A = this chain, B = another copy of it.
Amino acid sequence: MILAGEIRPGEPVYEVHYAKLLGMSRTPVREALQSLARDGYLEELPDRGCVVPTRSADDIREFFEMRQILESAAARLAAQRATDEEIARLKSLCDAYVGEGDLSRWQEIGAQFHAVIVAAARNRRLVQELASLRTQIDLSRRSVIHAGDPWREAAVDDHRAICEAIAARDEEAAYAAAERHVIHSYETTIRAWQPASLSLRKSS
């Protein structure tokens, strides 16, 4: 419901309310809320329950900084460890972009592209952390009014560069390409949000 935007940032989340709404008792609702709070979808106030957190510009910066760190590391490890099948799959996903006009299908391809890379890094904790981060970022994006499609700009070129670097087993190139990709994503996001913004570290 938070992800679907049915509960808006700043809004309090009462246990009894959602227990009634969902037809269950407070206990499982309570546990779910704690779980959500641990993952950052809710903020717990002592003795005063939960609220959906509102993200500051600094929060967004930190999220993208983490994403930059982890995605670039994933790309580097993928360049080292990806199987030939995984590389072939990355290439075919890159090619799938060109003829695609539908936005949701487009995002689906992008998600699969990233999933293959992270999986190729062979690190479960990294997979988990990036998934969490990705959801957080999507959530932050949603809590903000932005017009049009925020991606799509240089993303295809970025993806192709990452793909080629991994295929060439060039760890540093894959690292740098992934870094650039996250920077682009950050810039489009923050531009759609507010003019003044902090910048991430540029790739050298």
Contacts and interface: CB of A to CB of B under 8 A. Distances in A.
A38 to B, nearest CB: 5
A125 B70 CA distance: 12
A95 interface: no
B76 A201 contact: yes
A172 interface: yes
Interface of A is mostly: helix
A interface bracket (residues with beta carbon within 8 Å of B):
20 to 34
B65 A123 contact: yes
Interface in A124-170: 124-126, 129
A94 interface: no
A115 B71 CA distance: 24
Given A31-B34, A35-B38, A201-B80, A62 B172 contact: no
Interface string A104-138: 00000000000000000001111001000000000
Contacts of A201: 76-77, 80, 171
Contacts of A171: 201
A66 interface: yes
B31 A65 contact: no
Nearest to A39: B38
Interface of A: 27, 31, 34-35, 38, 62-63, 65-66, 69-70, 73, 76-77, 80, 123-126, 129, 171-172, 201, 204
11 contacts: A27-B27, A31-B31, A35-B38, A62-B123, A62-B124, A65-B123, A66-B123, A66-B125, A69-B70, A129-B129, A172-B204
